[in-house]
Amino acid sequence: MSYQRLDESNAKEAVRLYNEATLRGEQYYLPLDESGFVSLFLKPVKKGDEAFGFCEMDGETMRGFIVGHFDSGIQRYFLTLIEVEPAFRRQGIGKGLLEELQLQIDMDAYERQILPAVLEVSYFNPVMISWYLPDTDHHIHNNAQGVLLGSPAHLFLKNNGFRDFDCQNSYDQQLTEYRYPAEALAPYEKRMADHGLTVEFYDPKKHTDFEGLVEDLNNDLWNWQIPAEFAREGGPRPILIVNDHGKVGGFAGPIVVEPSGRCWLLGLAVHSRCRGMGCASVLFNRMCDEFRLAGAKYMTFFTAEGNFARNIYEGAGFRIHASWANMRRRVVKH
């Protein structure tokens, strides 16, 4: 098989494969036009990143394509997307495309001295693919968290050297009828008060040491996302915190409502020194109420299968609408 670079000259065929896979229900991704496809998949996300794209052609017809990305911030390689025309599946096209991507990434990693070159499928991918949550009123989440658990794509990757390392669950709930459960949370609020903890909006004149929270959480994305939010010109957007005697002991938000009515937030987390007192429950439910008051119609987010905080989310009425496998592939050469 011979492979061509996937670029603007042949992107039209790739868009066809991508959109047809969505229409067949094989993936939940939003349909794209040619310009949107090129911008999302064939361009580096930021300076220092790299995009890799290859396709296999049968005359003028594209039989399959693959896209991968390198994130310069966290120094990782990602398999972003692979599509094969149904009529040409089980003929080695997908496997061949995967090996071509691996070869190019191996060479890139050698030049960057990032060895071994590990391909990953996860929510850390800098490419944000928007998708519809099934069994909702066209609710949209702004990034895919991996490969759909148990899907043909998941099984294909399992059979080609990828291994699951985590599972993410995507949650959704209407917020228009949400109300803060004051009675249920009263014991948590009292316990927090007994330790001098409150949930309130961040005020740079009153609250300090968000850096300590970032260091304690030590999350590859939050390590730069949270400082960037707090360093915004004019200050961060409205963001709830756990006030631990003047120090930031947790965060939730920021409270941003998208034009669609969806909540946009970086996440929610509590400093290790403030855990075990109900802070996360109070913080999460307060955040939901603030989003409702700000006019949000619905909230979507994801968390790991094993995250104990899912009990908080599910207790507040949120339900899982999709589950995703996070996978890594390491090719061992003898």
- In this prediction, residue 334 carries a pLDDT of 39
- In this prediction, residue 201 carries a pLDDT of 97
- In this prediction, residue 25 carries a pLDDT of 87
- In this prediction, residue 39 carries a pLDDT of 97
Domains located in the chain, CATH noted: 4-167 (3.40.630.30), 182-296 (3.40.630.30)
- In this prediction, residue 221 carries a pLDDT of 86
Please check the confidence at residue 72 and state whether its pLDDT lies above 70. Answer: yes
Model confidence over 85-127: pLDDT tens digits?
A: 999 999 999 999 999 999 999 999 999 999 889 999 999 999 9
Contact partners, residue 145, CB within 8 Å, separation at least 6:
122, 123, 168, 170, 302, 324, 326
Please check the confidence at residue 129 and state whether its pLDDT lies above 60. Answer: yes
- In this prediction, residue 331 carries a pLDDT of 64
Angle among Cα 202, 206, 212 to the nearest 5 degrees reads 70
pTM of the model: 0.88
Please check the confidence at residue 333 and state whether its pLDDT lies above 60. Answer: no
Q: Quickly count: other Cβ atoms within 10 Å of residue 132's Cβ.
A: 18
Model confidence over 292-301: pLDDT tens digits?
A: 999 999 999 9
Model confidence over 17-44: pLDDT tens digits?
A: 999 999 998 999 999 999 999 999 999 9
Please check the confidence at residue 149 and state whether its pLDDT lies above 90. Answer: yes
Please give the mean pLDDT across all residues of the chain: 94
Average pLDDT score over residue span 316-327: 96
Question: What CA–CA distance (Å, rounded) separates 46 from 50?
Answer: 8
